[in-house]
Chains A and B, each alone.
Chain A
Amino acid sequence: MRAEFAKVRSMPTPFWCAFAALVFFLGGIAGCVIWGIGQESAALDLGIGIPTSIIAIVFGVWLFGVEYGQNTLRRTLTADPRRMRLIISKLIVLLVIIALVTVLLHLLAFVLYNLAASGHDGSLSAETVFRYGASSLLENVVNGIVGMAFALITASMAGGMTIALVFIFILDGIISIIPRVGDYTLGLAVVDISNSILGFSGEFFGETIGRSWEVATLIMIAWLLLLMALGALRFVRSDVK
């Protein structure tokens, strides 16, 4: 795992991911100065939530994609040939870094966004930041794992990035409009859990929508296990170029 953290420290992609997250975070501060926190804590969504959810996909794909892109997998596996162990190491690195970045940004936002928005009505309570942070953390972890799974499935940086983005932003939505099947998409499951964390009601014009967070969590875990299992199967069984 030390090697995986060393790669993160040495390579430019994680640096640019962190840089992008910082730029959007600073943009959020600017937004707070100009417009305040905004409705439904829009500053948190625009400054942290949405940008980091996309950055998480990039980072998740990169963790394996860099090995395929630079043909370094043979070097990694001639240092330690245990392929499942490599998957687990990279998964832990993914989870640790996503958790650190998401939590850190929300902690900073609690202080800095409130300060920046002090000239306007409305502020971020600790509970709001906590709920938004937890929701963002969930989404980032899911996106990161999906990115990593598709990098493994496609055995490619570019392929993994493309398919992961298509899956999260297009395919998942298309599946969701299929009767019956559509209720079990990964995206809807994450939305249901997020709504539960944020304390949003499950009612839409008087009609109850969504599922309990318990059911949604099971659906989400099933999707993540399925994608990672497919990726791991390909990775473990394939010849390494």
Chain B
Amino acid sequence: MSETALASFSGVKRHFGNTVALRGLSLDVVEGSVCGLLGPNGSGKTTAIRILLGLSRANAGSTSLFGSSPGESDFAAAVRQTGSLIEGPALYGRATARQNMKIQAAARGLGNNSAEIDRLLGMVGLSGRADTNARGFSLGMKQRLGLAIALLGGPRLVILDEPTNGLDPSGIVEIRELIKRLPESGVTVLVSSHLLAEVQLMCDRVTIIDRGSMVADGTMAEILAQAGAEGGYRIKVAAGEVEAATRILSEIGLEVMPAQNSELAIGGPIDDGSQISCVLAGSGIYVSELRRNNPDLEGVFLALTGGIDGERTQG
């Protein structure tokens, strides 16, 4: 994977009156990745994206999109290589889905593009509603149309702000799969979300921001390791054997914590779960359940941000 940053933030600060939205945010969006921008509501994700696209101004710091900053002569060319869906799809409600796409195609300076419009409408499952006014669409359909509009003209970078908002479960899966496939066609994706599972399933890199600052950044594996979210194992033994199992496993250097229902949480240097069952079986204790604790982003996120608090900052 190339390590070229298509978009970057450097010490970006933004406040709205006394409310601080961004406190010196710095991050890079690496080419070829699906990068997740994760943070609680109000952590500054949307404000950061707006500043990157020139819709808002930073009070300090700088942003770069394809090497260009807002106000520079080649910024328009950089924006034209970027598709975006920010805070909902922003549609002309009294125009049809197809007309909405034609308007955007014209605004992006694309030529005759009926075939591409049809292809994209089909890709997001709106072929049958192409000539329906967008105001009659459900939120999920509007979101799909917004995504199709973001992909017009084959952008190199796609920025999606909460792209699965309003979608039903099957719609969420479809859009997630679609987003995951985008790098195959050379598209880099920046997805902002407050949905931990979504980011974990969709992204290969993640940046966690909280109160306008970056608190973690890296590949998913790096992030999970960063907050000590190593997996470990859980085993279940007979109720009368919990103490003995705890002693035996502790003696071989493992960290053992009793849990509910005759379960033990086990950490430490374990290469394979079979080691645990093998040692215990040698002492006549037979494990009835053994499972690996899958580390998840939720634990990391809560550890890094101190929980979800939606009313702290704007953006």
Residues of chain A having any CB pair with chain B under 8 Å: 2-3, 5-7, 10-12, 66, 70-72, 74-82, 239-240
B82 pairs with A239, CB closer than 8 A? no
Least Cβ–Cβ distance between B74 and chain A, in angstroms: 11
Residues of A within 8 Å of B84, CB to CB, are 78
B102 pairs with A80, CB closer than 8 A? no
A239 pairs with B55, CB closer than 8 A? yes
B94 pairs with A6, CB closer than 8 A? no
Task: Let me know if B15 is at the binding interface, CB within 8 A.
Answer: no
A10 pairs with B99, CB closer than 8 A? yes
Task: Let me know if B242 is at the binding interface, CB within 8 A.
Answer: no
A81 CA to B109 CA, complexed, in Å = 13
B55 pairs with A80, CB closer than 8 A? no
Among B85-93, B214-222, B305-313, which stretch is in contact with chain A? Answer: B85-93
Task: Let me know if B176 is at the binding interface, CB within 8 A.
Answer: no
Task: Let me know if B175 is at the binding interface, CB within 8 A.
Answer: no
B103 pairs with A7, CB closer than 8 A? yes
Of B76, B84, B90, B149, the most chain A CB neighbours within 10 A belong to B90
Of the candidates A12, A76, A80, A240, the one whose C-beta lies within 8 Å of that of B80 is A80
Of the candidates A3, A71, A77, A82, the one whose C-beta lies within 8 Å of that of B103 is A3
B90 pairs with A80, CB closer than 8 A? no
A11 CA to B135 CA, complexed, in Å = 12
Q: A3-B106, A76-B107 are in contact. Are A82 and B76 (CB under 8 A)?
A: yes
Residues of B within 8 Å of A80, CB to CB, are 76, 79-80, 107-109
Q: Mark B53-64, 1 if CB is under 8 A from A, else 0.
A: 111110000000
B93 pairs with A81, CB closer than 8 A? no
Task: Let me know if B123 is at the binding interface, CB within 8 A.
Answer: no
A72 pairs with B56, CB closer than 8 A? no
Size range of the chain B interface in the assembly: 20 to 34
A–B Cβ pairs within 8 angstroms, 21 of them: A5-B106, A6-B102, A7-B95, A10-B94, A10-B96, A10-B99, A10-B102, A10-B103, A11-B94, A71-B90, A74-B50, A74-B87, A75-B104, A77-B54, A77-B55, A80-B107, A81-B54, A81-B76, A239-B50, A239-B55, A239-B57
Residues of chain B having any CB pair with chain A under 8 Å: 50, 53-57, 70, 75-76, 79-80, 82, 84, 86-88, 90-96, 99, 102-104, 106-109, 149
Of the candidates A7, A66, A79, A240, the one whose C-beta lies within 8 Å of that of B55 is A240
B93 pairs with A70, CB closer than 8 A? yes
Residues of A within 8 Å of B108, CB to CB, are 79-80
Please name the residue on chain A nearest to B84 by beta carbon. Answer: A78
A81 pairs with B75, CB closer than 8 A? yes
A70 CA to B93 CA, complexed, in Å = 7
Least Cβ–Cβ distance between A132 and chain B, in angstroms: 34
A78 CA to B99 CA, complexed, in Å = 18
**Further pairs besides A6-B106, A77-B55: 15, Cβ < 8 Å:** A3-B107, A10-B96, A11-B94, A74-B50, A74-B55, A75-B104, A78-B84, A79-B80, A79-B107, A79-B108, A81-B53, A81-B70, A81-B75, A239-B56, A239-B57
